[in-house]
Structures are given as structure tokens and as C-alpha cells.
């Protein structure tokens, strides 16, 4: 087994205070999650509904599960009863469905709006303009079963550290813009989720509050 304990502490030791770790456990077995759990880690991220469902049933109930992948609207109902945060909301339609399913479960589900800033055409997420439009539309204000807690993004998958930094800085500046405009009196809107195994150090320098790290803790994924 991969030395999860050692790698987890190596990552935790480098995180500034104020940056929380979401341990990305997708494709890794429950034993790996248990090893991190034994060290006190409680927030885990998964990107597939079925895999998350199995792990949620198997593992301790005080784990906070973040859904980090692209979520189809027809899958929301399966995770709505227990998910702690849905990180990658990229459409009004998805937000509406989360609100509807959360209401059925008599819950408020915390969400992040996913930004598309990276240059890759394949990445999901809202362009800055689409995000402005969603917020300006105002429908979210009447959704009493979702709480928009901040923004999430993935930087381009490139070696150019300056490009990664620029993209994360763009997200940080955009956070300030929407915070001022729509959430100035809303303390819950405070999360900036960026940074993965290869770029979380840059994320910590560009005001991330939440890094999503898989490989650096659990080793390579076996697909
Ligand atoms: C898989 C994944 C991560 C973690 O990636 P690593 O490079 O293994 O740290 C972070 N965020 C999202 C959205 C992911 O899908």
C-alpha cells in the first residue's frame, strides 16, 4: 500500500493556515481513505456518483464528501441526501436541480461556481461572463436550499508556472469582483477552490482557501 500517512503529512505541513485540504480519493480504495481518516483528515473529494455512493455507505459518517466532477442533472438526486459540497456548478440548470433535490431532502447544499479560465477547450465551467450573467440574473437569490460558498477552478494543465499563476490570479480577482457586487454581506461566500497536486503551491500564493489534492497524497490513480 502507498504510504498515505507520510504523503498526507508532507502535504499538510506545507499548507498555510487558512488553506484547507480536500483529499481527492477518486479511483482509490476505501483503505486509502481510512488511512487518511485515521490521521484526522475529514474532507474527501470524489468525481463519480456511483463510486461516491459506495464509499459513502462504507466509510465513517462524519466524512464531508465534496463532489468535484462534472455533475449531470439526473445524478443530483443520488448525492443530495448526504453530499457536503458540490464544487463544480457550471450552469443555472444544475443549480436549479440541486436546489430542488436539496429541498426534497430538507437540506441546504453548499456549492461553488466553477469558472472556466484555462485555455484548454475541454475544461468545463462558466466563463467569467457567463458567471456574471448567472449572478446578475438573480434567480439564485430565491433558491433557499443552496448556499453559494465561492468559486472553483482548474488551471491549465501546462508546465508554464506563470500561466498557471495568471489563471489563478484571474480567479482571485474575479472572486473580489463578485464578492463586492453580490455577496458583500454574505459571510458564507468565502471559498476559493484551486490548486491540485502539481500546482497547489502556486494556489496558496494566489489566495486559495481550499486545495484539491489527490496524487500527492494517494499516489498515482489506477484507472
Ligand atoms: C482529480 C482532480 C483533482 C486532483 O488531481 P491530482 O492531480 O491528483 O491532485 C483535483 N480537482 C479535480 C476537479 C479533479 O478532477
- Cα(167) to centroid of ligand 1, in Å? 17
Residue among 32, 48, 68 whose CB has most ligand 1 atoms within 8 A, to mutate: 68
Quick one: pLDDT at residue 120? Answer: 79
Closest CA to 175 of 213, 210, 123: 210
DSSP 16: P
Atom of ligand 1 nearest to the CA of 197: 9
Cell numbers given for 18: 487558512
Tens place of pLDDT per residue across the chain (223 aa): 789 999 999 999 999 999 999 999 999 999 999 999 999 999 999 999 999 999 999 999 999 999 999 999 999 999 999 999 999 999 999 999 999 999 999 999 999 999 999 887 777 899 999 999 999 999 999 999 999 999 999 999 999 999 999 999 999 999 999 999 999 999 999 999 999 999 999 999 999 999 999 999 999 998 7
Q: Residue 159: its pLDDT value, please?
A: 95
pLDDT recorded at residue 118: 86
**Whether pTM exceeds 0.95:** yes
The confidence score (pLDDT) of residue 1 equals 76
- Find the radius of gyration of the CA atoms of the chain: 17
Does the beta carbon of 89 sit less than 6 angstroms from any atom of ligand 1?
Answer: no
E-strand ranges in 51-133 read: 64-67, 85-89, 109-115
CA-CA distances (angstroms) from residue 81 to 17, 22, 99? 31, 20, 12
Q: In this predicted structure, what is the pLDDT of residue 203?
A: 98
What is the pLDDT, as a whole number, of residue 2? 86
Amino acid at each position: 500500500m502507498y504510504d498515505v500517512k507520510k504523503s498526507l503529512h508532507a502535504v499538510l505541513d506545507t499548507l498555510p493556515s487558512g488553506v484547507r485540504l480536500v483529499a481527492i480519493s477518486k479511483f482509490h480504495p476505501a483503505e486509502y481513505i481510512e488511512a487518511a481518516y485515521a490521521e484526522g483528515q475529514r474532507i474527501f473529494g470524489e468525481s463519480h456518483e456511483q463510486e461516491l455512493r459506495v464509499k459513502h455507505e462504507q466509510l465513517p459518517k462524519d466524512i464531508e464528501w465534496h463532489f468535484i466532477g462534472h455533475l449531470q442533472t439526473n445524478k443530483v438526486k443520488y448525492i443530495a441526501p448526504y453530499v457536503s459540497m458540490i464544487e463544480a456548478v457550471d450552469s443555472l440548470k444544475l443549480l436549479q436541480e440541486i436546489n430542488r433535490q436539496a429541498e426534497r431532502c430538507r437540506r441546504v447544499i453548499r456549492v461553488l461556481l466553477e469558472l472556466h479560465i484555462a485555455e484548454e477547450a475541454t475544461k468545463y465551467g462558466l466563463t467569467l461572463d457567463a458567471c456574471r450573467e448567472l449572478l446578475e440574473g438573480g434567480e439564485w437569490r430565491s433558491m433557499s436550499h443552496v448556499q453559494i460558498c465561492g468559486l472553483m477552478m482548474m488551471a491549465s494543465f501546462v508546465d508554464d508556472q506563470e500561466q498557471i499563476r495568471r489563471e489563478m490570479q484571474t480567479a482571485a480577482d474575479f472572486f473580489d469582483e463578485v464578492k463586492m457586487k453580490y455577496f458583500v454581506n454574505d459571510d458564507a461566500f468565502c471559498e476559493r477552490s484551486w490548486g491540485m497536486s502539481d500546482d497547489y503551491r502556486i494556489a496558496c500564493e494566489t489566495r486559495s482557501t481550499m486545495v484539491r489534492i489527490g496524487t500527492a497524497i494517494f499516489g498515482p490513480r489506477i484507472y
